[in-house]
Amino acid sequence: IQKLITVDDEEIVSDSLWALKSIAQNGDETVIEEITRMDCTKLFIGLANCQVVTVKFPAIGLLGLLLSGSEDQILVFIAIPYTELTLQLVDAEFDDLLPTLVSNLEHPKKALRRETYWALSNIFAGNPEAIDKLLKYPNLIETLIRKLSSEPNEVSYCGVK
């Protein structure tokens, strides 16, 4: 999987992310555990920062699914800094999951914002340590209130409302 999602071909990366998302959607927590163990969490977050929407969208969707796993699985994404990774398709530096998700709240595509709200809501449904990290993230609550109050229903229904 790492080879497929690190090639310099947007279509292969996008198709690979969609395939992983489809596999993870079956709701089986052991599948989410196996995907989390693949040691690709840094790559998924990096691809969620990608400027190419056909890559960014399935990456955020996959993160949302993975963040619906167990509390331990959520902490894998919340606790690890991701500053050492560079990818061909990723233009920007990124620190960790939260800046990635927060920056995608401003994306012009409604479907992408909806996936981002859903991923954040999965973290808010997690354990106290994950929730605490969200509450301490600078201006996150204010940003969510501002953004959700102005979003159309088809976007905000997945969010924390």
pLDDT in tens, 9-66: 899 999 999 999 998 887 677 888 888 777 777 788 888 888 899 999 999 999 888 8
Looking at per-residue confidence, does 131 or 56 come out higher? 56
Q: What is the DSSP string of 61-103?
A: HHHHHHTTS-HHHHHHHHH---TT---TT--S---SHHHHHHH
Q: How far apart are CA 158 and CA 144, in angstroms?
A: 12
- 93 contact partners, CB below 8 Å, separation of at least 6: 83
Structural tokens at position 104: 């995608």
